[in-house]
Copies of this chain bind each other. A is one copy, B any other.
């Protein structure tokens, strides 16, 4: 059975979606991701969808599911590489991916996860921001 590989970049997990998702593959991915988040103590999950020319409601729900489960396990989910046409389709489908953060590419996604991890560490009430990386 085929599985989508999950790559580990420090404390971030990276998944590249290249194939059409069907039920079985999607649930295998969600299960694998959940286990890896716990196993490596991941702070974030990056999902690259730059290979996808269309995203249907099934894929939209899958992204939402992954984000919800990750959040419960204290990991941020960032979807990266979304094509403009895909963004338009998602909104037209009424899927605005409220629980999912997005970034233009992997580098920006990693930066986003690093930033929110730092903020979480400092505590929600702490507004101090020295801007140094």
Main SS class of interface, A: loop
**With A18-B16, A18-B18, A18-B19 in contact, do A51 and B110 touch (Cβ < 8 Å)?**
no
Measured as residues with beta carbon below 8 angstroms from the partner, the interface class of chain A is 20 to 34
Interface pair B48/A106, CB less than 8 Å apart = no
Q: Which residues from chain B contact A14 at a C-beta distance below 8 Å?
A: 7, 14, 106
With an 8 A cutoff between CB atoms, is A107 at the interface? yes
Evaluate contact between B105 and A48: CB separation under 8 angstroms: no
Within 8 A of B (CB), among A17-65: 18-19, 48, 50-51
Q: Is A127 an interface residue (CB 8 A)?
A: no
Give A45 Cβ to nearest chain B Cβ, in Å: 14
Please report the C-alpha to C-alpha distance between residue A18 and residue B7 in the assembled complex, in whole angstroms. 12
Q: Is A81 an interface residue (CB 8 A)?
A: yes
Could you list which residues of chain A lie within 8 angstroms of chain B, going by C-beta atoms?
2-5, 7-10, 14, 16, 18-19, 48, 50-51, 81, 105-107, 110
